[in-house]
Amino acid sequence: MKLVGYRWVFKTKRNPDGSKRYKADLVIKAYEQTDFGETYAPVGKLTTIRYLISLVGRCGWNIDHLDVTTAFLKPDVDDDDIYLVLPEGWPEGHEDKATYAPRIIVRLRYAFYGLNQAPRLWHNDINTFLLFLGFNLLPT
């Protein structure tokens, strides 16, 4: 099995009141991932978005914006077996250090930041959900 590594990404964010908050993300090293399936996910063109905004303005409709911040963390990873080496010190505070190996390997069940196929998996999930709600696909 091919193991995929990880790295921590640390960021300092500023709140609107000027105070700081610290953020840490665990991200897969995608360049180490060699055996993955299809990665394509459709992307809207800027001209299409401009046209839709002009149409909304011309017709006097309301428009809402949606940003899914955890989009890539929700889809299931069913088609590929992806294995990740857990960070050092896992499980934290374990009483008997001799009973677990220093290198613990886990199989990912959900998509992860940095995963090559995460955009495609999310697109498949949102597409299935929108079809369930009753939306229709337009012929291309």
How does residue 9 score in pLDDT terms, banded at 50, 70 and 90?
A: confident
Residues of the domain holding 110: 3-133
Q: Is the pLDDT of residue 38 over 90?
A: no
The reported pTM is: 0.62
What was the pLDDT predicted at 60? 95
% of the chain at pLDDT higher than 70: 83
- Residue 45 included in any domain: yes
- Residue 139 included in any domain: no
Nearest to 87 by CA among 100, 103, 99: 103
- Residue 138 included in any domain: no
Average pLDDT over residues 12-22: 92
**CB under 8 Å to 13, separation ≥6 — which residues?**
20, 21, 22, 23
26 Cα distance to chain centroid: 11
State how many domains the chain has: 1
- Residue 140 included in any domain: no
Spatial distance between the Cα atoms of 20 and 14, rounded to a whole number of angstroms: 5
Q: Which residue has the higher pLDDT, 111 or 96?
A: 111
